[in-house]
Amino acid sequence: MDYDRAKEVKAFDDTKAGVKGLVDAGTMNIPGIFIRSPEEIAQDLSCLTIPLQVPVIDLSGTEKDDRRRRKIVDEIRIASEKWGFFRVVNHGIPLSVLSEMMNGVRAFHEQPSEVKQEFYSGDRMKKVRLVTNSELYLSRSVNWRDTMNISLLFSDHLHPDELPLACRDSTIEYIKDVSELGDTIFELLSEALGLKPNHLRDMECSKGRGFSCHYYPACPEPDLTLGTNKHSDPTFITILLQDQTGGLQVVHDNRWVDVQPIVGSLVVNIGDTLQIISNNKFKSAVHRVRANSDRPRISVACFFTAFAASSKLYGPIEEIASEESPPVYREFLVSEYISNYYNCRALNTSGLDHFKL
Ligand code: OGA
Ligand code: NI
């Protein structure tokens, strides 16, 4: 069985046409490699999502006056402790930059297969590459999704010519704007942890950035598979741009809650490494994306982490860990964290346990 499965995954990978290629070929029954276990499917069919709202935080006026800033910092602290997920509005990135980014990602994925195949690659060291799933060969069920990854994890230098023509200008603009927003959010998070505003930036938590430009084709059998399996992110934070389709869900109080799209908003979530350095004060929430049969969904995740080759050690921040709450994790290199993470993700386990003291 396993041998056949590996062969099927390889055959699919060799087409270099991704999930979009299957849909374009008129596939009505999804191939076995995408199908989840019967237990998992049954569990989802029997459990309802709860109609709770993921917090929405208005970032306008962070620089205006101290009272306004303290209120925002407080909202971020509560959302990061209780949810690990929040949506931000009035974040300063123009709506036109967000929609151009979406349009560019759509144009990239919807161009003829021969053109985008040039970027299809399993080589993690490549700065720009098209994949179906990063952990294609490891995971138990392949996700109904294609992704264009842009890695600034080894260097922050990116020449425009390295980007696909279909989304070049919009991507350059979005990377600039979302990186600035990341800096603002790291300042607010530092304050929410009771630290100086530049604490997390000085720790180089936002130096390495990775972008996943996801395209989730409409799926003929959406309950059998997922757009993205449940996982937490191996980042300090992630900022996500999603279209109006919906499908993103987060675990809250052991139940799935929909992260409803709001026009012009961005989703921010705490990743595993911020949970670790905050010594469990902030939560890295488990999330996933459901497949849908109506229309393709587009999202862009910006992952903030340290440079992958950084020799800095990360562990619970001294000012946070105290006698009442001693460090729960040991120190580690970001590269060590990431290599452990992909194994855990494929096995559906948390990447945190490995570093617990
Ligand atoms: C991710 C992720 C969610 C989405 O890329 O890690 O969780 O909505 N993406 O695409
Ligand atoms: Ni994620």
Mean pLDDT score across all residues of the chain: 94
SS3 label, residue 128: strand
Q: Tell me if 299 CB under 6 Å of ligand 1.
A: yes
The predicted structure's pLDDT at residue 241: 98
Residue the block writes with tokens 């704007």: 177
| Alpha helices, H only, 232-317 | 272-277
The predicted model scores a pTM of 0.96
Ligand 1 center–CA 2 separation, angstroms: 28
Return the exposure string of 99-111: e unless at least 16 CB atoms fall within 10 Å of the residue's CB, then b. Answer: ebbbebbbebbee
Task: Give domain 48-355's CATH number out of 2.60.120.330, 1.10.3720.10, 1.10.10.60, 3.30.390.50.
Answer: 2.60.120.330
Q: How many CA atoms lie within 13 A of 313 on its CB side?
A: 8
SS3 label, residue 275: helix
Q: What mean pLDDT do residues 281-306 have?
A: 97
Task: Give the model confidence (pLDDT) of 308-325 as tens digits.
Answer: 999 999 999 999 988 888
SS3 label, residue 320: coil
Q: What mean pLDDT do residues 78-101 have?
A: 98
Measured CA to CA, the distance from residue 37 to residue 139 in angstroms comes to 12
Ligand 2 center–CA 228 separation, angstroms: 8
Ligand 1 center–CA 40 separation, angstroms: 20
In ligand 1, which atom is closest to the CA atom of 269?
A: 7
Measured CA to CA, the distance from residue 141 to residue 225 in angstroms comes to 8
> Which ligand minimizes its atom distance to the CA of 145?
1
Q: Which residues contact 79 (CB under 8 A, 6 or more apart)?
A: 55, 57, 85, 86
Q: Tell me if 233 CB under 6 Å of ligand 1.
A: yes
The closest residue, in CA terms, to atom 5 on ligand 1 is 301
Measured CA to CA, the distance from residue 193 to residue 189 in angstroms comes to 6
Measured CA to CA, the distance from residue 22 to residue 209 in angstroms comes to 31
Q: Tell me if 285 CB under 6 Å of ligand 1.
A: no
- The answer to whether the CB of 217 falls within 8 A of the CB of 286 is no
Mutate to test the pocket of ligand 1, among 87, 212, 260, 273 (most ligand atoms within 8 A of CB): 212
Q: Which range among 12-16, 121-125, 219-223 shows the weakest confidence by mean pLDDT?
A: 121-125
Q: Is the predicted pLDDT of residue 18 greater than 60, yes or no?
A: yes
Q: What mean pLDDT do residues 247-265 have?
A: 95
Is beta strand 85-89 parallel, antiparallel or unpaired with respect to 56-58? parallel
The predicted structure's pLDDT at residue 348: 76
Mutate to test the pocket of ligand 1, among 248, 300, 302, 305 (most ligand atoms within 8 A of CB): 248
Least Cα distance to 163 among 209, 211, 124 occurs for 211
The predicted structure's pLDDT at residue 179: 97
The predicted structure's pLDDT at residue 351: 85
Task: Give the model confidence (pLDDT) of 155-186 as tens digits.
Answer: 989 999 999 999 999 999 999 999 999 999 99
Task: Give the model confidence (pLDDT) of 223-249 as tens digits.
Answer: 999 999 999 999 999 999 999 999 999
Q: Is the predicted pLDDT of residue 102 greater than 70, yes or no?
A: yes
Q: Which residues contact 114 (CB under 8 A, 6 or more apart)?
A: none
Is beta strand 266-270 parallel, antiparallel or unpaired with respect to 85-89? antiparallel
DSSP 329: B
Q: Is the predicted pLDDT of residue 198 greater than 70, yes or no?
A: yes
The predicted structure's pLDDT at residue 2: 57
- Domain positions in the chain: 48-355
Mutate to test the pocket of ligand 1, among 287, 288, 303 (most ligand atoms within 8 A of CB): 287
DSSP 356: B
The predicted structure's pLDDT at residue 3: 61
